[in-house]
Amino acid sequence: MEFDTQVFWSALTSAAYLKGALITLSLTVISHATAIAISLPMALVLNGSNRVARTLATGYVLIFRAVPQLLLLLFVWNALPQFIPVFREPWFNPFLAAWLALSLNEAAYQVEINRAALRAVDHGQGAAGIALGLTHTDVYRFIVFPQAARIALAPTVNEFITLLKITSLASVISLQELMTVTQISVARTFQFSEYYLAALIYYLVMVFTLMAIQKRIERRFAWEKTGMPGSVGGAR
Amino acid sequence: MSGAPIIRLEGVCKNYGDFTALDNVSLSVFQGEKIVICGPSGSGKSTLIRCINALEHHDAGTITFDGQQLYAPGVSLTHIRRHVGMVFQSFNLFPHLSVLENCILAPKRTQGISDAVARDRARGYLDRVHILDQADKYPGQLSGGQQQRVAIARALCMEPKAMLFDEPTSALDPEMIGEVLEVMTDLAETGMTMICVTHEMGFAKRVADRVAFMDRGAIVESAPPQDFFANPQTDRAAAFLQKLIHP
């Protein structure tokens, strides 16, 4: 059996592949954005002193880290409409189901990253902001969050890359993302290597682009790499 | 000294679990006074000044700043802190902001002044601590002594009525201590009210109006420096001074 360059090339440049890749990418972006939006207040709660809220957040992390993504996707798409009638309406499509399932799941992972990053910001930073008479909101906004974001960047991009690949699981709920498109093409022609390679290239390009963006952001905010001896304060 | 004290502590107590950090501390500081607080480690010096700007909440007694009692109804701690500058042992500059940005953040956010006014003011204070030429650098690019001078300028940019220093030279290499003490001495000469926790006894002799000696959470002795150093009234203070001279 030979590798048919023609088939590979036409798959690579096909509208179906491009559309599949765009669905993969957009699902990842909005799921991760939603996950971050959910996980940020949850991280604050977990680091905070409200015991009821902390228990609830801990329970959330426990459950959604334990549930396999595949099970969660199938549950949201197939089982949720049985309990909640709104999800039986025609607007509830595989994309929305995947968005919901992956956001809930990803938030449980992202919350640990946020929590660790917030904790990694030295206590003296908050104390200095408070001592200057800034409000707690301003201390978080101008002092703690920017430093925590810099710490969280690398693991967050890691999560994004993992999530990008996890979206391929949404093929089980018939979402037309990149892997679904690939499998349909393979099933039709049995030309495995041509279609797999085309998909692989899309994933590589997406991930490499992302890593380049990460490097650029890290360089932009490289304030801590400019250290000199004596730049780190002593114990309090 | 006349009039009401700007800072007044009466019967202040603070416990951490079973540990007594502050034991019935009373202290009055008048406008323009310079107080040096010394004592063995763990004697409550840092806790004391952290209670004055409410970074720590005392358990009993009262603390009054400029006529306003901390934690009294209607008294905003945030507003009080805007008039009390604080310098930390570990500098605590904001590493993600340039030196100039460190100095303008709080004035801009709390005093409603324009960026231009805040920058002008910051440049003035950075000049006073002799570090204006580093204004665009990040804290991580400066030496410890330079960072601490920036921290002093940052506090002064709020134009506070009093300044608290929490062991400002303890984290510094010996050759950098002098430059920070010099800036603090200059500041004292401008008439700033200052409370300094420090073991720099030369500074205390030069600058302090009173030295307060703390041990086990209490102010054991409080006297002008010439009396305190020549003639400590308690055995504990004498023993402490002995250790400073012959470590």
pLDDT (tens digit per residue) in B64-96: 999 999 999 999 999 999 999 999 999 999 999
* Complex ipTM value: 0.93
A-chain residues near B90 (CB < 8 A):
122, 124, 233-236
pLDDT tens per residue, range A136-195: 999 999 999 999 999 999 999 999 999 999 999 999 998 999 999 999 999 998 999 999
A-chain residues near B95 (CB < 8 A):
147, 223-224
Nearest to B140 among A147, A226, A234 (CB): A226
Nearest to B95 among A130, A133, A223 (CB): A223
Partner B contacted by A49 (CB < 8 A):
no
Instruction: Map residue A159 onto helix, strand or coil.
Output: helix
pLDDT of A230 reads: 37
- Res. B1: pLDDT tops 80: no
- Other CB atoms within 10 Å distance of the CB of residue A205: 11
Q: Which residue of A has its CA nearest to B54?
A: A131
Nearest to A143 among B53, B88, B94 (CB): B94
Q: Which residues of B touch A (CB under 8 A)?
A: 46, 53, 55, 78-79, 81-86, 88-96, 105-106, 109-110, 138-144, 147, 154-155, 158, 170-173, 176
- Cα–Cα distance for residue pair B132/A104, rounded to 1 Å: 50
pLDDT tens per residue, range B170-219: 999 999 999 999 999 999 999 999 999 999 999 999 999 999 999 999 99
B-chain residues near A150 (CB < 8 A):
96
Nearest to B140 among A132, A143, A227 (CB): A227
- Indicate the pLDDT class of residue B243, thresholds 50, 70 and 90: confident
- A140, A142, A145, A148 alpha-carbon torsion, rounded to 10°: -120
Q: How far is CA A221 from CA A216, B122, B140, in A?
A: 9, 23, 13
Eight-state DSSP code of residue A232: S
B-chain residues near A122 (CB < 8 A):
90, 92
Q: Which residue of A has its CA nearest to B87?
A: A128
- Res. A28: pLDDT tops 50: yes
pLDDT tens per residue, range A83-141: 999 999 889 999 999 999 999 999 999 999 999 999 999 999 999 999 999 999 999 99
Nearest to A130 among B81, B109, B138 (CB): B81
- Cα–Cα distance for residue pair A159/A69, rounded to 1 Å: 14
